[in-house]
Amino acid sequence: MNAVGGMPPSAAEIDVESRTPMRFGAVGNLTRGALGGNGSLLAGLIILGTLIALGLLAPVIAPDDPVKQDINNILVSPGNASHLLGSDQLGRDTLSRLLYAIRNDILIALGAIILPFLIGTLVGVLAGYRGGWVDSLLVGIVDVIIAFPILVLLIALVFVLGPGVRTIIIAVAAIDWVVYARLARTSARREAAMEYVIAAQVGGVPTRRVIVRHIIPNLISQSVVYAMSDAVLVILFITTLGFLGLGIPPPAPDLGTMIAEGQAYLNSQWWLAVIPGAAIVVTALGLSLIADGLAQKLDAR
Amino acid sequence: MPDNLLEAKDLRVAFGGGRDIFLRRKPTFEAVRGIDFHVARGEAFALVGESGAGKSTAARCVVGVQRPTAGTVTFDGKPLDPRKDHAQRRAIQMVFQDPQGSLNPRMTVGTMLVELLRLNGLVDSRPAARARAVELLEMVGLPESALDRRPRSFSGGQRQRIGIARALAVEPSFLVADEPVSALDVSIQASILLLLKRLQEELGLTLLFISHDLAVVRQLCDRVAVMSEGEIIEEGAVTDVLHHPRHEFTKQLLAAATDLPELKMRTPAAPDVVSQGKEPAR
Amino acid sequence: MPAEQIEGKMTDVKTKAEDAAPTGADPLLSVSDLRIELAAGGDRIDLVSSAALSARRGEVVAVVGESGSGKSLTLRAIAGLLPVGIEVAGGRIDVDGIDVVGADAKTMRALRGGVVGMIFQEPMTALNPTMRIGAQIAEAARAHGKLSGGEAKARAIELLGQMGFTEPERRYRLYPHELSGGMRQRVVIAIALAGGPSLLLCDEPTTALDATVTMKVLDLIVGLASELDLGIVLVTHDLGVAARICDRIVVMYAGRVVEEGSPEELLQYPRHPYTLALLQAVPTRESTIEQLQAIRGTPPTAGEIPAGCPFRPRCAFAEPECAAPVELAEVTPGRVTACRRQAVLAALEERSLA
Amino acid sequence: MVYARFLVRRLLQAIPVVFGVTIVVFLLIHLVPGDPARTALGTHATPQAVAQLHHLWGLDKSLPEQYWLFLKRLLGGDLGTSLRFQQPAGHLVLERMPVTLWLLCYATVLTCLIAVPAALLAASRQGALRDRIVRLLSVTALGIPGFWLGLMLIEYIAVETGIFPSSGYGSGFLGHLESLFLPSLTIAAGIVPLVVRSLRAETLKVADADFVTTARAKGLTERRIRLRHVLRNALAPSITVLAVNVSFLVGGTLVIEQVFSLGGVGSLMLQGIDARDFPIVQAVTLILALVVVGVNIFGDLVQALIDPRVEVR
């Protein structure tokens, strides 16, 4: 009996000749084999893991206090024994500021996407599954918020709310949830029309349980993938706010603020602006690679 | 006790409608245009028609996942409303066309069956639920080991067996089967048809069978109604309709059927040629 | 439908085929020992391990089999249209004197559309949604034969007319989504014919269509075959469709041809246990459920096909000797089977005739 | 003409969205913790000045009443008066609009010029080296902050090579073309990866479509198949992606104008923020949102022209 032990690769995978139209893509995935998303995913996890570790360990490994000014040692070049990556115009240690800035930015970014992820997904699933006026209302709100250029609305919100970490998180959440809601709504509508959901309803599974046990598990991975690429955007937004002087209030270090402060010295002390910029690129790359790898794994299924 | 377990009168279902943002009426499409039919207790009744005839929509009304726009449907003498009436919901179950999409890809067969058994209060403990799930799988010819596997790892025919086991889990008296074999390979179709026939007889099920294939209907059903463009155009005993069609469309449908010439060579029933609808080892 | 009618239809077609026989002494299509493989990572999985097929002008040949039997891949290999990652690993395909397996890209382009026309299963997806149907036909006409834009358009309109479109000049400008499934399939047929091919390959051309539409499309295809003296290879899983329109049936199972013969003989007196089992498993309007017999087990998955006769594990007639490789062999003129135990089936046939 | 009617219908459909946009913009000022008038005028303002501004902004009325007044003013073309410039905010925004629109259009053109060839190159052979390189480049580019890229381009291209100016708008068409090249490139760099990703995926999807097999079965050349059958069908969804991402483009201009010292709408907003000039911030937010709505309608129109399945009736 074939039921005993592992099944062969499911018929659907190799069965390139079924009643449904021949899906060349499925074959393509198969031929590429396991090469798929694992490479990106691994690289991304290593990059992000290293950065998070560096950030979390900043209090331990940072050679200096990131806000301590040393007027006698301003604009020191990298390679110096006491300032490995040099110091800035106020004599603060660049390496220490960099580590703390990575810590601050990654933590705020992750903090800022958890709220919209949870709220948006939940609202989207409920509206998509229930339909009716709740759904229409959600679509209306989404359409309105999407109509704004995100960064402009974000800056406006941060401006009126007054700068600060809490403000940033609230402002991002207030805008970003609609994207998760829209994603979850579309998926929930698709899943709700699937026969397995209808079968559960016919079998007497209560609505709440259908949503929690049947619909959410089937759409959540897609939202997680989106959250990873969303984190890239949020990092960019946060550092942009910092660059514009609307971010984390000084003197706490932030990569965007560091670039803004360093830009005046670009022709002499280039590293002051180049290094934090490179740190943003690497962080974002780590997140993008994770998103990419997850998306490919998801596709392969 | 009424003779007719299910009775539909002037059943109508329209899609679309409502108004757009300028309050203009959206166009409606009437998929079912006032049909009457009844299914007697223990009978196997078929709705036959081509795609878009409205037969699946009618079936969905019976299981309560589609609200009729108009008309009355009674089940066992009471107005049909499986959404509200718990007993009715349990009494009416459905087998779907697509054995792939009708199973939750992330749930093992065991989890799915245990969920239904427990939610409907049919068992009082988890071990009892598992034991009952094994019984159900046996009933449809699947081994106990199927419990811990996900739908992906089964073939199309096996998935359809799981779908049937799920429908039977809540011990229904009325089974709606919506094109249960049309997505399956030819050699698998027969085993599912035989399984349905056996279960119908053993469990005394009443069957509402939806199909586009008159030959398939002939195997399972006593009576048939032919649907076209949302209406029932002809109704009667299966053999009557097949051999003495009255409506022009039925005649066309029969003429268009691609049937086989009669197989002249029938094998003597070899002892190992399985004909009981069980799907033994490959 | 009463069996007499079907037989009548079949003899009709057969006479036509015989008329055409002299012109088609050399087969238009000949496929032998065809092997098709899927390259997955480092592995190679056999999808088709031995396919043999031939067709003459004016002849309709059906290739019948279940999903995974390799029938569609065989058909696609003939037109050099295998999906990426799947390739011909051995054997010969000759179409009208052209060696398809060894052909270069230019020869293949001339072959596709010019010598071999192809009709697909899903008329919904087989047409370009952003292109007018007429332009899609004209484009196919222009790819072969030197036509001006105007001539190609005229040819497309003419073809639309032949396909039964009323007002073809006006229909020329429609987009695929404005047509019904049956009408779209007619457009696909027109495209397949536009380059003036001599061989028409049909991949489940009616599976996505309703029964009444199916008949019209099949009649159209068969009508064209005799009118234009085309050879037709029709892949289908529906034995009824095969019985209704073809001159010869080739049965495939697990990537091999297991039996071949005329519809009358093959469908009434099969010489391969798989064909027999399939026929016993297909419900007809004359049969009752008591006569229905399921085939045990499931078709094997690619890469897991048993050695020897692939049907052996499901076969009611299997003997230990069936584990040895088995070749296609001619049993009577025009009848070929790949079964060691065909003598038993022959005896059964004797008995039923007696 | 059907397309004109389609346009009118899309414009009408945008009315509720625009209505919602005005509500959000109106509410902005009410999100200010404490008294917005006092916040705007600073701690040294006299109580009379605060009271005057209260009255001017209508803060002494009920919320619905205030909104009604706000809407009435908007319909009359009045977007408030800038505190800093003492001029109508709407006027100030429109004055700065040309630079911003130039940047937007220029960046869009550059995006297409970079993204379309890159995506087609990547999709020409899935998994090949060129595909991997394009994908890696676009994944990396996605994470480059625009303001930083701008600074780098100014320092290492404009200042060091002197090929392009490091700031300013230039004069005349060619002058704009030259002066705005680097800023537009910077803005484009932000969304090129998104468009490449979408177009590559769509191209691969379409290349697998049945109708492409039909085209191949006709015996067409690969070149014709790619251009006539694959590209056109892959383009329509990518245009939607581009239109949706105009939202990012517009956000990008805001920062990039600042970096390249261009006097556009974005830098006006940042000036407004520095001066706690609420009317300016509101006016810019509103107008930029309207630009996005307009571009999306335009995107729909283009899509309807490319894809006949989009219902234009």
Q: Where on the phi/psi map is residue D61: left (φ > 0), alpha (ψ -120 to 50), or beta? A: beta
List subunits contacting chain B, requiring 3 or more Cβ pairs under 8 Å: A, C, D
Q: What is the pLDDT of residues C143-184, one digit of tens each?
A: 988 889 999 999 999 999 999 999 999 999 999 999 999 999
The answer on pLDDT for D112 being more than 50 is yes
DSSP state letters, D170-200: -SHHHHHHHHTHHHHHHHHHHHHHHHHHHHH
Q: Do D139 and A289 touch (CB under 8 A)?
A: yes
| Residues D106, D212 within the same domain | yes
Nearest CA in chain C to A22: C83
Contacts with B154 from chain C: Cβ below 8 Å: none
| Residues D54, D185 within the same domain | no
The answer on pLDDT for B278 being more than 60 is no
Per-residue pLDDT, averaged over D293-309, amounts to 87
Does C166 touch chain B if contact means CB atoms closer than 8 Å?
A: no
| Residues D250, D132 within the same domain | yes
Specify whether the CB–CB gap between C82 and C100 falls below 8 A: no
Contacts with A280 from chain D: Cβ below 8 Å: 143-145, 148
The answer on pLDDT for B186 being more than 90 is no
Q: Do A24 and C83 touch (CB under 8 A)?
A: yes
Pick the CATH number of A39-57+92-300 from 1.10.3720.10, 2.60.40.1120, 1.10.10.10, 3.30.70.250: 1.10.3720.10
| Residues D16, D105 within the same domain | no
Contacts with B103 from chain A: Cβ below 8 Å: 196, 199
Distance in angstroms (rounded) separating the CA atoms of residues C187 and C194: 10
| Residues D112, D64 within the same domain | no
The pLDDT, as a whole number, for residue C21 is 42
**Alpha-carbon distance A200 to nearest alpha carbon in chain B (angstroms):** 8
Q: Do C79 and D229 touch (CB under 8 A)?
A: no
CA distances from D237 to A191, B153, D242 (A): 23, 34, 9
In this complex, the residue of C84, C125, C303 whose CB is nearest that of residue A14 is: C303
| Residues D64, D108 within the same domain | no
Q: Do B215 and C285 touch (CB under 8 A)?
A: yes
In this complex, the residue of A2, A21, A31 whose CB is nearest that of residue C40 is: A31
Residue D311 within a domain: no
Q: Choosing among C44, C45, C76, C86, which should be mutated to test the A contact, i.e. which has the most A CBs within 10 A?
A: C86
pLDDT-based confidence at A9, cuts 50/70/90? very low
The answer on pLDDT for C337 being more than 80 is yes
Residue D32 within a domain: yes
The pLDDT, as a whole number, for residue A5 is 30
The answer on pLDDT for D50 being more than 50 is yes
The pLDDT, as a whole number, for residue B21 is 56
Contacts with B22 from chain D: Cβ below 8 Å: 12
Choice among B18-27, B51-60, C238-247, D103-112 with the minimum mean pLDDT: B18-27
Q: Do B170 and A206 touch (CB under 8 A)?
A: no
Specify whether the CB–CB gap between A251 and A264 falls below 8 A: no
Strand B206-211 relative to strand B174-178, pairing: parallel
Between residues D81 and B172, the one the model is more confident about: B172
| Residues D70, D187 within the same domain | no
Q: Do A240 and D24 touch (CB under 8 A)?
A: no
Query: Of B154, B218, B222, B228, whose CA–CA distance to B188 is shortest?
Result: B154
In this complex, the residue of D215, D219, D232 whose CB is nearest that of residue C130 is: D232
| Residues D57, D202 within the same domain | no
The answer on pLDDT for D24 being more than 90 is yes
Q: What is the pLDDT of residues B108-124, one digit of tens each?
A: 999 999 999 999 989 98
Q: Which of residues 333-352 of C touch B (CB under 8 A)?
A: 345, 348-349, 352
Nearest CA in chain C to D211: C126
**Alpha-carbon distance C70 to nearest alpha carbon in chain A (angstroms):** 7
Mark out chain B residues that contact chain D at CB-CB < 8 A. 21-22
Choice among B133-142, B152-161, B244-253, C36-45 with the minimum mean pLDDT: C36-45
Does C299 touch chain B if contact means CB atoms closer than 8 Å?
A: yes
**Alpha-carbon distance A7 to nearest alpha carbon in chain C (angstroms):** 10
CB burial of residue B123 (10 Å; 0-12, 13-18, 19+):
middle
Distance in angstroms (rounded) separating the CA atoms of residues B49 and B45: 13
Specify whether the CB–CB gap between C117 and C199 falls below 8 A: yes
Specify whether the CB–CB gap between B228 and B53 falls below 8 A: yes
Contacts with D19 from chain B: Cβ below 8 Å: none
Distance in angstroms (rounded) separating the CA atoms of residues A163 and C158: 73
Q: Which residues contact B148 (CB under 8 A, 6 or more apart)?
A: B108, B109, B110
| Residues D253, D172 within the same domain | yes
Does C114 touch chain D if contact means CB atoms closer than 8 Å?
A: yes
Number of domains chain D contains: 2
CB atoms within 10 A of CB A292: 25
Which amino acid, one-letter code, is at D125?
R
3-state secondary structure of B93: strand
Per-residue pLDDT, averaged over C212-231, amounts to 89
**Alpha-carbon distance B16 to nearest alpha carbon in chain D (angstroms):** 16
Per-residue pLDDT, averaged over A188-202, amounts to 92
| Residues D9, D104 within the same domain | no
| Residues D119, D71 within the same domain | no
Please state the φ and ψ torsions of residue C253, each to the nearest 5 degrees: -145, 130
Q: B4-277 has which CATH code?
A: 3.40.50.300
Residue D305 within a domain: no
pLDDT-based confidence at A301, cuts 50/70/90? low
| Residues D238, D127 within the same domain | yes
In this complex, the residue of A14, A22, A33 whose CB is nearest that of residue C45 is: A14
Does C111 touch chain D if contact means CB atoms closer than 8 Å?
A: yes
DSSP E strands: which ranges in C163-274?
199-203, 231-236, 248-253, 256-261
Helix (H) or strand (E) holding C295: none
pLDDT-based confidence at D311, cuts 50/70/90? low
The size of the A-C interface in CB pairs under 8 A is: 66
Structure ipTM over 0.95, yes or no = no
The pLDDT, as a whole number, for residue C226 is 87
**Alpha-carbon distance D107 to nearest alpha carbon in chain B (angstroms):** 35
pLDDT-based confidence at B89, cuts 50/70/90? confident
The size of the C-D interface in CB pairs under 8 A is: 76
Does C1 touch chain B if contact means CB atoms closer than 8 Å?
A: yes
Does B265 touch chain C if contact means CB atoms closer than 8 Å?
A: yes
Contacts with D142 from chain A: Cβ below 8 Å: 229, 232, 284, 288
Write down which residue in D241, D263, D285 finishes a domain. Answer: D263
Q: Which residues contact D66 (CB under 8 A, 6 or more apart)?
A: D26, D58, D59
CA distances from C36 to C48, C70, C255, C256, C304 (A): 5, 9, 9, 11, 15
The pLDDT, as a whole number, for residue C20 is 41
**Alpha-carbon distance D71 to nearest alpha carbon in chain C (angstroms):** 43
**Alpha-carbon distance D13 to nearest alpha carbon in chain C (angstroms):** 25
Distance in angstroms (rounded) separating the CA atoms of residues B152 and A221: 18
pLDDT-based confidence at A279, cuts 50/70/90? very high
Q: Do C67 and A34 touch (CB under 8 A)?
A: no
Nearest CA in chain B to D14: B21
The pLDDT, as a whole number, for residue B163 is 95
Q: What is the pLDDT of residues A108-133, one digit of tens each?
A: 998 899 999 999 999 999 999 988 88
Q: Which domain does D39 fall in, by range? A: 2-75
Helix pair angle (D278-306, D265-274), 10° resolution: 150
List subunits contacting chain D, requiring 3 or more Cβ pairs under 8 Å: A, B, C
Q: Which residues contact A11 (CB under 8 A, 6 or more apart)?
A: B155, B156, C68, C301
Contacts with D16 from chain B: Cβ below 8 Å: 21
The pLDDT, as a whole number, for residue D284 is 93
Confidence (pTM) = 0.85
Choice among A65-69, B59-63, D302-306 with the minimum mean pLDDT: A65-69
Can you give C308-342 as a three-state secondary structure string? Answer: CCCCHHHCCCCCHHHHCCCCCEEEECCEEECCCCH
The pLDDT, as a whole number, for residue A18 is 28
Does C71 touch chain A if contact means CB atoms closer than 8 Å?
A: yes
pLDDT-based confidence at A209, cuts 50/70/90? very high
The answer on pLDDT for C63 being more than 60 is yes
The domain locations on chain B are: 4-277
Q: Which of residues 178-237 of C touch B (CB under 8 A)?
A: 210-212, 214-215, 237
